[in-house]
Structure 1
Amino acid sequence: MSEHPVDLTAESFEQTTGAPGLVLVDFWAEWCGPCRNFAPIFAATAQKHPDVVFGKVDTEAEQDLAGRFEVQSIPTLMAFKGGVVVHRSSGAMPAARLDALVKSLKSVDVDAVKRAEENKKLTEQGIVPPGVHPDAEWDEGDSEWVHGAKDAKGRKLGPYKYWRADGTLCNECVFENDKPHGPFKRFHESGDVSQDGEFVKGDLHGPRTWYASDKYTTERMHENGVSTAIRKTVMMYEHGRVVGVKHYDGQDRRVVPTTGEPYPDRPQNVPVEAEYREDMKQWSHVHLDVAGERHGLSRFWLPDGELLWEGEYVDGSRQGLYRSLAKDEYLDPAVRFDEGRFDQGEACDVWTLLDADRAVLLSRDLGVAQFEDELSESQVLTNPPRPASAWREYAETCLKARKHREAVLAMARAVASDQLVAPMHDLLERVALPRTLKNARGTAGEVLENASNSWAALAGALVRGGDVAMLLRGCAVLLDQSDKPRAALDFINAAMLLAPERADYLFTRGLILLNMGLDAHALKDAEGLAKVEPDTADFLRAYTRGLFPVFDFWPGKETPHSTYNDLPEKPAQSIGAIQRIVQKYATRLQKIRTELQGRFKAGVSMPWMPPDLSALLPEGPVELVEDEVEVGEDSVAVDESLAVAGVGLPDLVRFARADWSALTWLLWSCGESKLVMPKKVASPANFGHAAGMSSQRLWRARDRRVTGGRGAKASGAASFEFEGVAIDAVHPQLVGIVEQHYSETQAMFYWLADSDNVSPWQDNLRGS
């Protein structure tokens, strides 16, 4: 036998897997990432077991083999003995677990496997297999045979047994009033005990013990990173709640779960109730409430026994006193500890920094805790700008009320207004903890990663000493997402003034400027960004071009061409129907234009604003219908409405782009070359190519988004340019603009080419 995996083909598969020894087969594919990761594990295990044949089947090259064994996901691992399948599993497997599996499969009795398969077939037919109580009933939910008595009310009562579909006993327990009550045991297929413990009125109580087996078993134990060296696990319960877990090796020595190494000796000053957390490399002693949340005092120690931190909790939230080891966290290198208070998870009141002898080095009042509801309604997070003097006055008002978080946010807006950063530094000296740069960035980074949508978390991190520029940038992003771009601009400008070296903040500001419709300013930021992040600058430029097009007569810039067959020769709708739909598009576009104009000062003219289409609406806007209509023999939904209130500016412009494309191509289809109401249908000779082109480009855009362009590459589909960029070069995050553009145009052509259709906004004309 080879110590290396052998490639199996349809010709060699039968002979190899039909051998009497153990054969493991890995079904894989080159494009599969998990398969590539599993390959070296599979090969290394083959070297450890030269008495076992390890084979590999390339599912792309051997599709018949993959189909024969119904391989639906890869990698799939199958084991054979004498041509009989004795194991099957999907997904990559850690080395230790694969090694343990191979060892257990070596002892598998093929005859027992055959009997098990025969019993499974009987179960599928509803026939009780041998070894199962003849009066047992099949439980579809648990996929087990079950037998036991019931009381007069139909409730489970007394001893119960459960069997697998293959006829092997898997569980024994006792019921009282339909709830498990008393001792229970689970079993491996071999008959050895896999678990035991006790229920009290339906809840686990006391020790629940898992036992590993060297024989093949489907019972689970070595999961979630638990080492195969673990042979016994004892989990302690208190009326259904886990209160402790211990793991043991084959010599019944307590060990660490992930490695199986000896459990560390407990330092003298660590209480006996504390447990070693290998994942944290810490000792911990935590009290929990009935919901499993931290409640009361929680304490953590380093491996050598030095107290790391301790804090009081109420129902999972930090509440009360807190102290921790704080070496190398603060600007003063003499600081060894910090102490303070929390209120509902927010640091507040006076915090002190202490040296190794616990002498106070510095005290800072972090103010009162401020929570999400209060901060989200604060004036400092509203969109309208104010002069710097007004923001500084507001900051002083907040300071008098000890609302230090709000004061810092107000000062940031003042900095953006008058570009004076010294007052901000002075304020932070009074109300924020003075951390090292590394620790400040770590504090801010943790909040931005885990709670970037929480004003309480962002503002709280400011007074805890988090990196101010990072946190203000986070505030800017959250405001921008909340459609408050003017306030967002203040915060990102303040961040850039406080940390001028961080040129990458230009990207954030560029996106905010686009949300304000200031495309020229965004392009200027892209120029500055190009010096440090050229790829990001290219994205910002492409996004600007895609978002803010020139609204002229677009069909005049195109020569329609499509490779699709069976294209329509001419429009099928009447001129009256076309004129009605022209007015629908004009009404929608006027609605968008009015909404956009309302977001700027009167008289401001933005170069990208959709043109005034009132000439197409001499009697004013027309009705936009929401209804069910009959199209042929089908009932379809029509929704011509367009909600614009509260919609972000980029989305409004995207709506405008899509409707503008559909409108101008509709006019072109009647023979027009400018924005006028058509009087007749005089379609160009290449009308069908225009209709096909919209569908073909929509498919290319969707293929780019879904497969990254693999479908187009495989089929040889033609490319096209969008705003001067080839579709395959359009950034994945911008493909949605292209898709929306051509989706609206395709729907219009679908409507136009079939006289049975009522409206381009029929739901059956979209999504295909």
Structure 2
Amino acid sequence: MAGAPVELSPEDYKQVTQRPGMCVVDFWASWCEPCQEFAPIFEAAAPRFADIALARLDTEAHEELSESLGIESMPTLVAYKDGLEVHRVSGALSAEALDLLLTRLRAVDVAEEKRRAANRERTEAGKLPSGIPEGATWDDGDGEWSFGPTDSKGRPHGPWRYWRADGTLCNECIMKQGAPHGPFKRFHEDGAVSQEGAFEQGQLHGPRTWLASEHFTTERMHENGVSERVRKTVMQYDHGTVRQVLHFDGAGQRVLPTTGEPYPTRPPHLPEDTELREDLGQWAKVTLNADGERHGLARFWDSQGQFLWEAEFVDGERHGRYRSRAEDEYADFRVHFDEGRMEGDLVCGEWSLRDSQREVVLTRDLGRAQDERTLERSPVFSNLARTAEGWREVAKEARADRRYREALLATARACATSLDAQPLKEGLEELTLPRTRDSASELADDVVEDEGQAWAPMADALMRGGEAATILRAYAVLLDQSNRPRAALDFVHAAMLLAPERKAYLFTRGLILLNLGLAEQVRQDAEGLATVEPDTARFLGTYARALFPRFDFWAGQEPPRCTYDGLPEKPGQSLEAIQDLVRKYATRLQAMRTALLQRFKPGAAVSWLPPDLSGLLDKGPVKLEQFERELGDEQVEVDETLDLELGLADLAQMLRGDWSALTWLLWSCGETALRMPSRIAPPADYGQAAGQASQRLWQSRDRRIRGGASPTKAGDGFLFEGVALGDLHPSLVSIAERQYAETQAMFYWLNDPDHVSPWQSNLRGS
């Protein structure tokens, strides 16, 4: 076994892992990419650690064994010594990390591990582990035992000690009236010091030193990318505020935290307390508050010590003066620096663009900073329509108050309404910082990627010269997702006016038009996209058909088919119960139809809505109920009510599901049109229809969850709005899933007289 890892089976697993000595098992799976990357690393370690038996187990081939051992992720390494599990770790390791792990395993003391395991069992039973003094108490939150003296008010006061659940000492400190005050030490499980420092009135003050261990430990040091090569870390605190962090290797040489490589020489002209930001490759001089947030002046330089930027911070946000190097960022080639003020990370007030000698090239007033809460509530994002003149008046008022962000956004809506982009172009030129085309595009792309779900950062990027069409389109997406499609349509139209060559914006507009229920316009945009983005055009067209189908009698248009056995031959519910359910569906559909009609102007022709079903409601709408019922050993909830405040797309999907269920319910009684059934005369293929609903639901759900791993491949599966299930976009698969979930629930109800409603909470499983 010393030459290479052996493959284990359930039959030899216990024999191999329970023999004397050390054994490490790699639990892997063929589909797991990290497992494949780790396999040669694990194999290469075998000759170097001939005294440790290395083995592997295929979790797919031996699923029952791996589950019984609690293996939940791959790869996972489990180490045994003399038959006792002593360590496990999940995730692929580097060769260096694996060597360190195996080296540490050699030093494991089995007797000590058994003692700790016994103590953990005592803790779980609420009993004191051995070696902990009587009177110690357990804290579930900290996961520690503690013991020490108290003052007259019962507060910890004096020397206190803390132990882990396994009975090992983890902390010693001095408490003063309930708060730590004075020196403290933490310990690794083997008793070596893991941390030492001091508190002053409850706050860390002075050097706090972290020391690594050569043994296994639960003390945290090598986290957040800190290399195992780091053997000591010193954090300098000033009354709770971190001022400096230094990392050292085993020889005491200062090193970089993520690699353990020697720390580079600081450029001589930089301040002495400047630190290298390894992740950025930049030098930084930053002060932090007690919460670890930037506070005060922060300054950054590149790796050669050339100035990059500086800003004043207040509790993590840029607030105060700001200055940065800005070569090749602005339209005027002379500009080398920009500077101004910020409030809450937002630019405001007068900004200057300066040349290499710090002489002013251009100044611009960027107006008042407007935070997230203020902008989200601004009338410029209202879903209510205004005339172009109305939006110009909003812009005029905002501009007079130096709310230039709102002024530009209101101007965008005015231009969208009048189909004239010139006033917006003029406003952008006058109010925003003039960047180069590449810089403007990069700024806009970055803010949309990082902050595309926030109102203030995108407006701030607009003021800083970010490319306007990209930002306005992002606002359109955000507004549509916030159920403000009319506002969204204005913003995407403004973006299209600024960048008419961007045909991809037709897709954005198409999605917004879907949320407005303008089906015919969506189809036109899909046609416009077809020549440049055919796949996107097909998606948009299918999405439109899915949300706005033709509401005729769907059931029985094609012979139902399924591959299930044991199908029902006829409904199990009474005619009276079926008629009551028809009225429920008709009531729900009428309510949704009315709610959707109210979203359009009075008298508007909405061609895609289902027909009026009042003919099924001879005595008017019926009551939609919400209640709980005990069915056998199960408590189920029934909720027939509707949320008519949902977005149009959600309402349309609910409408589709109920329509499908209603038509199949009528078909099950022998009807071929929308009329109240007077008898139950199921077609010969009734059972096939009931099974088809369940099978298609399962296929849809499997396709959505498993994606490309689903057995339904491209071109396969039932047709949904003319497209095979295997070709449907995941967003459209969920619509099919919802339709068949409602249809299946109806059939489950219909086949079992013990069920009280299709809207039972237990009728929508696969």
| TM-based fold match above 0.5 | yes
- Cα deviation for residue 22 of structure 1 reads 4.9
- Cα deviation for residue 53 of structure 1 reads 4.8
Match of 1:663 in 2: 662
**Stretches of structure 2 lacking an aligned partner (at least 5 in a row):** none
CA contact (8 A) 2:3 2:47 kept: yes
CA contact (8 A) 1:96 1:227 kept: no
- Cα deviation for residue 637 of structure 1 reads 3.4
CA contact (8 A) 2:243 2:287 kept: no
* In structure 2, distance between residues paired with 1:379 and 1:600: 21
2:292 maps to 1:297: no
Secondary structure of 1:267 counterpart: coil
- Cα deviation for residue 96 of structure 1 reads 3.7
Say which is worse superposed, 686-695 or 416-425, in terms of deviation.
416-425
CA contact (8 A) 2:184 2:199 kept: yes
- Cα deviation for residue 430 of structure 1 reads 0.9
- Cα deviation for residue 147 of structure 1 reads 4.7
Code of the residue aligned with 2:626 in structure 1: it is: E
Say which is worse superposed, 238-247 or 345-354, in terms of deviation.
238-247
Say which is worse superposed, 629-638 or 348-357, in terms of deviation.
629-638
CA contact (8 A) 1:703 1:709 kept: no
Change (3 A) 1:577 1:63: closer
* In structure 1, distance between residues paired with 2:315 and 2:169: 42
Change (3 A) 1:180 1:313: closer
Secondary structure of 2:651 counterpart: helix
* In structure 1, distance between residues paired with 2:658 and 2:445: 41
* In structure 2, distance between residues paired with 1:172 and 1:541: 68
* In structure 2, distance between residues paired with 1:434 and 1:594: 50
Match of 1:329 in 2: 329
2:560 maps to 1:560: yes
Q: Deviations over 1:682-724 (max 9, x none)?
A: 222332332222222222222222233867679xxx9432222
* In structure 1, distance between residues paired with 2:522 and 2:342: 42
- Cα deviation for residue 259 of structure 1 reads 1.6
Match of 1:281 in 2: 281
* In structure 2, distance between residues paired with 1:367 and 1:316: 23
Change (3 A) 1:300 1:564: same
Q: How does 1:149-298 map to 2 (within 5 A)?
A: 149=149, 155-164=155-164, 166-298=166-298
Q: Deviations over 1:526-552 (max 9, x none)?
A: 233333433333322221221111100
Q: Deviations over 1:600-633 (max 9, x none)?
A: 2333323311111122223332222233456568
Match of 1:685 in 2: 684
- Cα deviation for residue 574 of structure 1 reads 2.9
2:741 maps to 1:740: no
Code of the residue aligned with 2:763 in structure 1: it is: L
Match of 1:725 in 2: 723
CA contact (8 A) 1:670 1:681 kept: yes
- Cα deviation for residue 385 of structure 1 reads 4.4
Code of the residue aligned with 1:569 in structure 2: it is: E
Match of 2:753 in 1: 755
Code of the residue aligned with 1:404 in structure 2: it is: Y
**Stretches of structure 1 lacking an aligned partner (at least 5 in a row):** none
Match of 1:601 in 2: 601
- Cα deviation for residue 589 of structure 1 reads 1.1
CA contact (8 A) 1:703 1:710 kept: no
Match of 2:590 in 1: 590
CA contact (8 A) 1:701 1:738 kept: yes
* In structure 2, distance between residues paired with 1:721 and 1:574: 33
2:376 maps to 1:376: yes
Code of the residue aligned with 2:603 in structure 1: it is: G
Secondary structure of 2:556 counterpart: helix
Q: Deviations over 1:175-222 (max 9, x none)?
A: 444444432222233332222222344443332211112344443322
Say which is worse superposed, 48-57 or 446-455, in terms of deviation.
48-57
CA contact (8 A) 1:3 1:49 kept: no
Change (3 A) 1:288 1:39: same
* In structure 2, distance between residues paired with 1:319 and 1:126: 51
CA contact (8 A) 1:631 1:758 kept: no
- Cα deviation for residue 767 of structure 1 reads 4.4
Query: What is the RMSD computed on CA atoms of the aligned residues?
Result: 3.2
TM-score of the superposed pair, with normalisation by structure 1:
0.90
- Cα deviation for residue 2 of structure 1 reads 5.7
Secondary structure of 1:348 counterpart: strand
Say which is worse superposed, 443-452 or 88-97, in terms of deviation.
88-97
Match of 1:673 in 2: 672
CA contact (8 A) 2:242 2:289 kept: no
Change (3 A) 1:445 1:95: farther
Say which is worse superposed, 604-613 or 83-92, in terms of deviation.
83-92
CA contact (8 A) 2:240 2:290 kept: no
Secondary structure of 2:555 counterpart: helix
* In structure 2, distance between residues paired with 1:119 and 1:270: 54
State the identity %. 56
* In structure 1, distance between residues paired with 2:371 and 2:87: 55
- Cα deviation for residue 290 of structure 1 reads 4.7
Match of 2:25 in 1: 25
Q: Deviations over 1:18-39 (max 9, x none)?
A: 7776543211111224433433
Q: Deviations over 1:297-352 (max 9, x none)?
A: 22222233333212223343333221111122112232110011223332122211
- Cα deviation for residue 353 of structure 1 reads 1.0
Say which is worse superposed, 47-56 or 751-760, in terms of deviation.
47-56
- Cα deviation for residue 233 of structure 1 reads 0.7
CA contact (8 A) 2:170 2:187 kept: yes
CA contact (8 A) 2:699 2:712 kept: no
CA contact (8 A) 1:96 1:228 kept: no
CA contact (8 A) 2:242 2:288 kept: no
Secondary structure of 2:352 counterpart: strand
Match of 1:452 in 2: 452
* In structure 2, distance between residues paired with 1:265 and 1:364: 40
Code of the residue aligned with 2:159 in structure 1: it is: P
- Cα deviation for residue 72 of structure 1 reads 3.2
Secondary structure of 2:754 counterpart: coil
CA contact (8 A) 1:313 1:320 kept: yes
* In structure 1, distance between residues paired with 2:487 and 2:171: 63
Change (3 A) 1:370 1:46: same
Code of the residue aligned with 2:301 in structure 1: it is: W
Change (3 A) 1:622 1:422: same
Match of 2:536 in 1: 536
Q: How does 1:497-516 map to 2 (within 5 A)?
A: 497-516=497-516
Code of the residue aligned with 1:752 in structure 2: it is: L
Change (3 A) 1:12 1:636: closer
* In structure 2, distance between residues paired with 1:624 and 1:15: 64
Q: How does 1:347-362 map to 2 (within 5 A)?
A: 347-362=347-362
Code of the residue aligned with 1:560 in structure 2: it is: P
Q: Deviations over 1:238-288 (max 9, x none)?
A: 444433321111222222211222323333443234332222222323344
Secondary structure of 1:254 counterpart: coil
Secondary structure of 1:491 counterpart: helix
Match of 2:577 in 1: 577
CA contact (8 A) 1:107 1:216 kept: no
Match of 2:649 in 1: 650
* In structure 1, distance between residues paired with 2:536 and 2:652: 22
* In structure 1, distance between residues paired with 2:311 and 2:733: 49
Say which is worse superposed, 446-455 or 122-131, in terms of deviation.
122-131
TM-score of the superposed pair, with normalisation by structure 2:
0.91
